[in-house]
Amino acid sequence: MADWAGYMGLMLDGALVTAKLTVLGCALALPAAFLAGLGRLSRFSAVRALSVAYIEFFRGTSIFVQLFWAYFVLPLMGVTLTPLQAGVLALGLNVGAYGAEVVRSAVQSIGREQHEACVALNLTRWQSLRHVLLPQAAVVMVPTFCNNAIELLKATSVVSLISLSDLTFQAQVVRSQTGSTAMPFLTVLVIYFAYASLISFGMKTLERRMTRGLDGLRT
């Protein structure tokens, strides 16, 4: 029982790595989602094609394959990444591809009449997007982004397989050092669940603030 505190410390280290991966992954996924999602709606077919290729590639192959590819194959092409970099890259680009579809469908869900009002007020395409369409679409995006962020959190566990000492990795370490199985795995499950609850609480707060005044009414 004396060592228990030590093992707990190990797992908290892992929890920190998992938090870091999640935050950095989201930081990459968000701009990727907006770039590719808006890219799919571009007037230029080259931009559209590029966005579709990115989205379909990252949604079509598994996050697991992407991570291994980033870690084992990219070095063969002269790009050597640390496990953390490989993890953030694969997670961010993977979830960004799913987020891109969220951005696209949210922007498309804004009614035609809002576009027409923008034309009648002589706004440029960019101005319409920036001031009218995106602010409204953002409200629609938040709940799905919340799910995406939780999916990203869960996906961080696969980096343990490229020996990054995240929460899952540390659980394995504790298991092999103590021979105890239920304790380490239950502990990390609870920590992951706490993180997921934190994300959904944060997103709900954000959503409430964004919809204030809108009253869910749109005519």
Rounded distance, CA 35 to CA 213, Å? 29
Between residues 27 and 190, which has the closer beta carbon with respect to other proteins? 190
**Minimum CB distance to other proteins, residue 129 (Å):** 12
Between residues 47 and 196, which has the closer beta carbon with respect to other proteins? 196
CA angle 190, 191, 196 (to 5 degrees): 95
Between residues 45 and 122, which has the closer beta carbon with respect to other proteins? 122
Helix (H) or strand (E) holding 137: helix 134-155
Rounded distance, CA 164 to CA 177, Å? 18
**Minimum CB distance to other proteins, residue 32 (Å):** 18
Between residues 197 and 205, which has the closer beta carbon with respect to other proteins? 197
**Minimum CB distance to other proteins, residue 86 (Å):** 12
The 3 state secondary structure assigned to 200-219 is HHHHHHHHHHHHCCCCCCCC
**Minimum CB distance to other proteins, residue 6 (Å):** 21
Rounded distance, CA 200 to CA 196, Å? 6
Rounded distance, CA 47 to CA 202, Å? 34
Residues that bind other proteins (CB under 8 A): 56-57, 59-66, 68-69, 72-73, 76-77, 113-114, 116-117, 119-125, 127, 131-132, 135-136, 139, 150, 153-158, 160-161, 168, 171-172, 175, 181-182, 185-186, 188-189, 192-193, 196-197, 213-219
